[in-house]
Amino acid sequence: MDLQTSPSPLVRRAVGLGMAAVSAWMTNLSWVQARRDGQFSMAAALMGPAFCVIGLGLVLFKGYRQERLERGEDISQLQGMALLTSRWKGVLAVALLAMAVNYALLNGWV
């Protein structure tokens, strides 16, 4: 896939839904472990909520590449965070917040 093509919306949404479902399961697993054993998987507690939000973002919104291409922007010189649109920076911020809140709740800090 080159810079000018994007996966179809159906593929993007299916991948996003799968990502959200697996991540929600990981988050649930960390809560079950915390209640049952008094300890939990840090990876599941951190990655689960973050990837769940990103997966839901893939279901609800167009991809950042597709957004930029539809506006006629040249993305050939953009890399990393510069590729993200404001909408996807917001999705990323919500994902990081979900990760932090879940971890704080599991540790009993809140």
Is 54 inside any structural domain?
yes
At 75 the pLDDT is 85
Name the token pair of 16.
Answer: 């996003």
Tens digits of pLDDT across the chain (110 residues): 555 566 788 999 999 999 999 999 999 999 999 999 999 999 999 999 999 999 999 999 988 888 888 888 888 888 888 888 899 999 999 999 999 999 999 998 86
Q: 28 is in which domain, residue-wise?
A: 9-106
At 36 the pLDDT is 94
Is 3 inside any structural domain?
no
At 23 the pLDDT is 97
At 66 the pLDDT is 85
At 64 the pLDDT is 85
CA–CA separation, 110 vs 98, rounded Å? 14
At 84 the pLDDT is 87
Provide the whole-model pTM. 0.86
Query: Number of structural domains, the chain?
Result: 1
At 59 the pLDDT is 96
